Structure 1
Amino acid sequence: MAPSRHMLCIEALKKLKNLQKIIEERRKRKKHKFWVNPFLAQRGLHDLEANLLKDILWEEGQDFNNFCRMSIDQFNEILSKIPATEKEWLDVANDFETLWQFPHTLGAIDGKHIRIKAPPRSGSDFHNYKGFFSIILLAVVDAHSRFIYVDIGANGRASDVMAFKNSLLYDNLSRGQLNLPADKPLKGQLSKTPFYFIGDDIFGLNRHLMKAYNRSSNLSTAQEAYNYRLSRARMTVEMAFGRLSSRFRVFHRPIEVSVETCDTVVKACCILHNYLARKLAQAPNPQQDISNQVLPSTISSLPVQEQNTYKYACKTRDNICKYCITDGDVPYQWHKIKKQVPK
């Protein structure tokens, strides 16, 4: 071996020995100690949501507040779920009748396209009719524009009706597992009317889902009054979507995460929207002078209730239509539809 190469090897070995000494010295140094809450120290061993969060609920309130930055009562309020009892559904219906003057309404249903980045190898599955990639947020809201049910994740190519028919809500509604209130007569009527959700024209008319009369046909004054009253009550879901987008700027541009993560983000935003809506609650009552008006009571002669068919759904809608110009008449509707009160 040449002398120059021999010297280079010796220098390289010396550098390796020095590097080894430095590493050993660093290992001998004392590690800094930090105090960690015993609860937080278990995060690496146990799942946070499944186990630790449940355990901390049994701890003192201050510990929970330090970890979640909210009280236990606020946390439970955020986790409020869809109405599960007949009384809870009746509370929703009473709010709709008080604030929006539309009876027996369990919620307003509609869909919103959430803009996303095109998932890999998805083709045109998520490309909607508006010209961008999206998933569908199908929601039911109460009279205060708060979400009481959401179904997230249907691809943007699907319609609101397809998303609804593939949802758990539709399945439970078809099986009669939502504990809906029993049919009751409208004020001043003899025949019983079921409780129902309200939607736009794309949804199919059935026993528990009401929509407007076809506007392309020659509508009577009563039908125009019914359409206005239903559209006015259905504003709640449109306002909910508008406030959701205004409060969370993540909806102002495509969400660049996986579809699964996007579902979680949208669901979290809906929950926080409900929390903020309760804290900033203002009764959405544009007709304050008549919201508590005592309506006259008269008796209407209506057909006997039939089976759960499309024909029966049409008769139910006709009953509500008649209610809107008799016992449920409110003065402002005639100004809105630019018609005179029928004699």
Structure 2
Amino acid sequence: MAVVDHNGRFRNVVIKHPGSVHDAAVFKDSSLYKNAQTIIPQTSENIDGVDIPYMIVGDPAYPMLPWLIKGYSGSLSAEEESFNVYLNSARVSVEMAFGRLKARWRILCKKMDCAYTFSPQIILACCTLHNFVESHKEQFFTQWLEEVSNSDQLFPQPIAVQSRDRDCVPGVAVRNHLKQYLAASYPLRKTLIR
């Protein structure tokens, strides 16, 4: 599990669970979850009369929290679908960061020939090196992404399922307010992929 900033750099990484562990279980074991009040800035932005705290954007596998927002699921209204499209556009930096990480450090695309207990150190080293080269704006070739996209088909990752945890009421209220604000202030957007 990783938190990625808007520059595509890894800000928080959890590498102590095998891939078969549910994302929500890994999340609840993370330092981010345990120390959110000290890690996440405790400031807010007033949006249309409501103070909205700084939040992390998560995928459907995570629970909604006062500081973690995720999209709507199930049968969606036009406003909910549009909200999800806008929210997912914020998650693009995460997908891009993981793509660039795997493209630069090919060891992550294959079985590692080392003791499984050493794998977390290799992954953390790759994330650290990724941040270093990204911050120094080292050249990146898009061809690398094409080369590693085939490895995803050889070793597919588990599909995240929606968290069964109850969503917190303050998080739901913030998401609903942002949905209404986006619907009133910006054009409704539709998902291109069905």
TM-score in terms of structure 2 length: 0.77
Aligned to 1:197: 56
* Matching of residue 168 in structure 1 with residue 31 in structure 2: yes
Report 1:151-162 matches (<5 A): 151-162=14-25
SS at match of 1:154: coil
SS at match of 2:14: strand
* Matching of residue 227 in structure 1 with residue 84 in structure 2: yes
Q: Structure 1: which 5+ residue stretches go unaligned?
A: 1-137, 283-308, 339-343
Distance in 2 (alpha carbons) for counterparts of 1:252 and 1:190? 47
Aligned to 1:206: 65
* Matching of residue 149 in structure 1 with residue 17 in structure 2: no
Aligned to 1:287: none
Aligned to 2:118: 261
CA-atom RMSD, angstroms? 2.1
Q: Between the two proteins, what is the percent identity of the paired residues?
A: 31
Deviation for aligned residue 1:224: 1.3
Alpha-carbon contact 2:40-2:54 (below 8 Å) kept = no
* Cα deviation 1:90-132 (Å, max 9, x = unaligned): xxxxxxxxxxxxxxxxxxxxxxxxxxxxxxxxxxxxxxxxxxx
* Matching of residue 276 in structure 1 with residue 96 in structure 2: no
SS at match of 2:16: strand
In 2 relative to 1, CA 147–277 (structure 1 residues): closer, same or farther, beyond 3 Å? Answer: same
Moved runs in structure 1, 4+ residues, more than 4 A? none
Alpha-carbon contact 1:153-1:259 (below 8 Å) kept = no
Deviation for aligned residue 1:179: 5.2
Distance in 1 (alpha carbons) for counterparts of 2:40 and 2:27? 19
Deviation for aligned residue 1:236: 1.1
Deviation for aligned residue 1:326: 2.9
Residue 170 of structure 1 aligns to which amino acid in structure 2? Y
In 2 relative to 1, CA 194–247 (structure 1 residues): closer, same or farther, beyond 3 Å? Answer: same
Deviation for aligned residue 1:184: 2.7
Distance in 1 (alpha carbons) for counterparts of 2:128 and 2:177? 36
Q: Which has the higher contact order (CA 8 A, sep 6+)?
A: 2
Report 1:120-139 matches (<5 A): 138-139=1-2
SS at match of 2:13: strand
* Cα deviation 1:247-297 (Å, max 9, x = unaligned): 111122111212332111111111111122123279xxxxxxxxxxxxxxx
Report 1:241-320 matches (<5 A): 241-280=98-137, 310-320=168-178
Distance in 1 (alpha carbons) for counterparts of 2:40 and 2:108? 34
Aligned to 2:46: 185
SS at match of 1:185: strand
Q: Look at both structures and tell me which one has the larger radius of gyration over its CA atoms.
A: 1
Distance in 2 (alpha carbons) for counterparts of 1:195 and 1:281? 30
SS at match of 1:149: strand
Aligned to 1:16: none
Q: Structure 2: which 5+ residue stretches go unaligned?
A: 140-166
Aligned residue pairs, count: 165
Alpha-carbon contact 1:145-1:239 (below 8 Å) kept = yes
Alpha-carbon contact 2:79-2:180 (below 8 Å) kept = yes
Report 1:20-169 matches (<5 A): 138-169=1-32
SS at match of 1:170: helix
Residue 131 of structure 2 aligns to which amino acid in structure 1? N
TM-score in terms of structure 1 length: 0.45
